[in-house]
Amino acid sequence: MEVVIVPDATAGGRLIADALAALVRRKPDALLGVATGSTPLPIYEALAAQVASGAVDASRLRVCQLDEYVGLPAGHPESYRSVVLREVVEPLGIDKGSFLGPDGSTDDIPAACAAYDEALRAAGGVDLQILGIGTDGHIGFNEPCSSLASRTRIKTLTQQTREDNARFFDSLDEVPHHVITQGIGTILEARHLVLLATGAGKAHAVAQAVEGPVAAVVPASALQLHPHATVVVDEAAASELKLADYFRATYAAKPEWQGL
């Protein structure tokens, strides 16, 4: 696992966007796994700026969702399909037909989960998966004590996660209780995992995930098992890392040819 400490969220977004631009130039039809929420917005905004300037052509890029609420209609503004279309697909000029996501409005959720895992396999697998981390260490919606081998499935959200996400709805009562999420095992199949965390509120979860033991109680700790995982954190989110100085030194000495 590589840990990169940046000054702020903007710098983190630009760093990851540069890595995405390099991926697109290397593989124009790469499959990019995207996370939602406020944390990854600087990534998408920085990459969209590169697209707008003509520095990179992302039109052949394919995009897939990490998770989706259960019970919200596809057109609901806070369904993750709507969010990804609004924040990623449209700004990058990607064809909507190149967008993969699970169906959270179907009556047969288990079938939808199995179908999504199969769709990811049929698409050749995820080339780069963007991740955030919850204050309790969850990735995707794999809440604490999720199986580290789990596949795409339905999960019940914790009260903390529903409260964290209530800011996107008019009230807590409108936040769904269930989601479809890629499982930890599914996430670990991506060729490159990039987790962005910003703010002091994520510091404890980051420290547990990076420096603590691999344990289901901290789902993000599973990234320690991946051969190509990158954790990008701002100074505030890095504040509880015991090895922060080491991470700074190793990144400063990193050869340019290695990339992110």
Q: Exactly one of 68, 103, 138, 192 is catalytic; which is it?
A: 138
Catalytic (active site) residue 136 = yes
Catalytic (active site) residue 108 = no
Catalytic (active site) residue 211 = no
In whole angstroms, give the CA distance from residue 216 to residue 233. 22
> Is-contact 79 72, C-beta < 8 A?
yes
Q: Residue 93, by phi and psi: left (phi above 0), alpha (psi -120 to 50) or beta?
A: left
Selection from 222, 214, 227, 65 nearest residue 149 by Cα: 222
Half-sphere exposure of 193 (CA within 13 A, CB side): 28
> What is the residue whose two structure tokens read 């050869």?
255
Residue type, 60: R
Q: Exactly one of 68, 103, 127, 143 is catalytic; which is it?
A: 143
Catalytic (active site) residue 138 = yes
What's the DSSP call for residue 167? G
Selection from 220, 194, 14, 213 nearest residue 133 by Cα: 220
First to last CA, the chain: 11
In whole angstroms, give the CA distance from residue 171 to residue 87. 22
| CA–CA–CA angle 243, 66, 94 (5° rounding) | 110
Q: Exactly one of 68, 136, 164, 234 is catalytic; which is it?
A: 136
What is the spatial order of strands in the sheet that 99-100 belongs to? Answer: 2-6, 229-234, 192-197, 128-131, 31-34, 62-65, 99-100
Question: Which phi and psi (to 5°) does residue 128 adopt?
Answer: -145, 125
Residues with catalytic function: 67, 136, 138, 143
